[in-house]
Amino acid sequence: MTAREDLGAQFARIARRLVALEQPWLEKHGVTMWEYALLLRLRAAPAATQLELARAINYDKTRLIALLDGLEQRGLVTREPAAGDRRARTVKLTPAGRAAVTSTQREIHRMEDGLLPGEKRAALQRLLDEF
Amino acid sequence: MTAREDLGAQFARIARRLVALEQPWLEKHGVTMWEYALLLRLRAAPAATQLELARAINYDKTRLIALLDGLEQRGLVTREPAAGDRRARTVKLTPAGRAAVTSTQREIHRMEDGLLPGEKRAALQRLLDEF
DNA sequence: TATTGTTATACTCTATAACTATA
DNA sequence: TATAGTTATAGAGTATAACAATA
């Protein structure tokens, strides 16, 4: 019998490898992993508040400020005063932001398709959705 | 069609969750994740040099010192002058170290078995071994 | 009194450089 | 000249505390 590897270790090892493979594409498009995660989340839906956005991507609200500052300066997201609450600010993707995240993801998906056949990948992801 | 999640993000998310589930058991046994990874590696085989050990668990050689200091003080590992090279030191598990890693892993495996049936887990791990 | 966004601060983790003793 | 172990230092990443504006 071969030694049973811990699930956490196995998943972490594979995740590290996949993230490393994504890295060159993120760099090519000039975004960090956290920025990419944030843009992906905003593409799904605008964030009513920054706090909600921070929670959604599992990021610290105080670190989110600098992240948003950078993305806003580069014209990828906008911060607007929220409708009902003057303390809060809605965060939205700009057209440029939407284009950036979409083209980045397209290349990352292409990279993944080179790793394993599309059918196998889809089956694996369906299986992992149970978690 | 549902949005296709990036593989890296999916694996990282699951890995984070699994590591969080391991955490209470590691704390109960008084070891950090890195210490646990190191002990697991030593149980498989003693390390001829500290450098080899650092590389094996993907850890920085300069940080390894403090990790080994702690484990040695607690009597879980030993550092002995290497046979052929007076610069190097072999690192071995003590009986206490072996007992610690084994009992820790037993509980972690039990936790995993509560997550999903043994057969499914084994099948999943065989599938992931392709990576 | 609590919450949103923000800044400042402290802390942890990780990487780099340099030293010593050997080879 | 290069390598194993080590120490000190710097840097990135992360968490904590506190503040102003608003609820």
CB spacing of A12 vs B3 below 8 angstroms:
no
Grade residue B98 by pLDDT with cuts at 50, 70 and 90.
very high
| Closest to B82 measured CA to CA, from B72, B70, B74, B92 | B92
A-chain residues within 8 Å CB-CB of B112? 6-7
Element containing residue B80 per DSSP (H, E): strand B77-81
Compute the average pLDDT of residues B58-69.
Answer: 95
Q: How many CB pairs under 8 A join A and B?
A: 80
* Beta strand extents in A18-124 (DSSP E only): 77-81, 89-93
Residues in A 71-90 whose C-beta is less than 7 A from nucleic strand D are: 85-87
Grade residue B126 by pLDDT with cuts at 50, 70 and 90.
very high
In this complex, is the C-beta atom of B3 within 8 Å of any C-beta atom belonging to chain A? Answer: yes
**pLDDT digits 0-9 by tens, A6-60:** 999 999 999 989 998 999 999 999 999 999 999 999 999 999 999 999 999 999 9
Task: Check whether B2 has a pLDDT greater than 80.
Answer: no
| pLDDT score of B131 | 78
Task: Check whether A64 has a pLDDT greater than 90.
Answer: yes
In angstroms, what CA-CA distances link B45 with A66, B6, B25, B64, B91?
46, 36, 24, 17, 10
Compute the average pLDDT of residues B106-120.
Answer: 94
User: CA B69: distance to chain centroid?
Assistant: 17
Grade residue A130 by pLDDT with cuts at 50, 70 and 90.
confident
B-chain residues within 8 Å CB-CB of A44? 3
Q: Any idea what the Cα angle at residue B41 is, between residues B38 and B43, rounded to 5°?
A: 110
Phi, psi at B89, each rounded to 5°: -135, 130
| Mean pLDDT of all residues belonging to chain B | 94
Whether A62 sits with its Cβ under 7 A from any strand D atom: the answer reads yes
Compute the average pLDDT of residues A79-98.
Answer: 96
| pLDDT score of B112 | 95
Phi, psi at A88, each rounded to 5°: -90, 160
| pLDDT score of A3 | 81
CB spacing of B22 vs A6 below 8 angstroms:
yes
| pLDDT score of B26 | 94
Grade residue B77 by pLDDT with cuts at 50, 70 and 90.
very high
Distance A108 CA to D20 C1' (A): 42
Compute the average pLDDT of residues B21-50.
Answer: 95
Compute the average pLDDT of residues B60-69.
Answer: 95
| pLDDT score of A1 | 59
Distance from the Cα of A86 to chain B's closest Cα (Å) equals: 33
| Nearest-CB residue to A15 (from B11, B105, B108) | B11
Whether B56 sits with its Cβ under 7 A from any strand D atom: the answer reads no
| Mean pLDDT of all residues belonging to chain A | 94
Residue keyed to tokens 């078995």? B113
- DSSP three-state, residue B88: coil
Task: Check whether B1 has a pLDDT greater than 70.
Answer: no
Task: Check whether A131 has a pLDDT greater than 90.
Answer: no
Contact B92, B77 (CB under 8 A): yes
Whether B60 sits with its Cβ under 7 A from any strand C atom: the answer reads yes
Residue-wise burial string across A100-120, b where 16 or more C-beta atoms lie within 10 A, e elsewhere: bbeebbeebbebbeeeeeeee
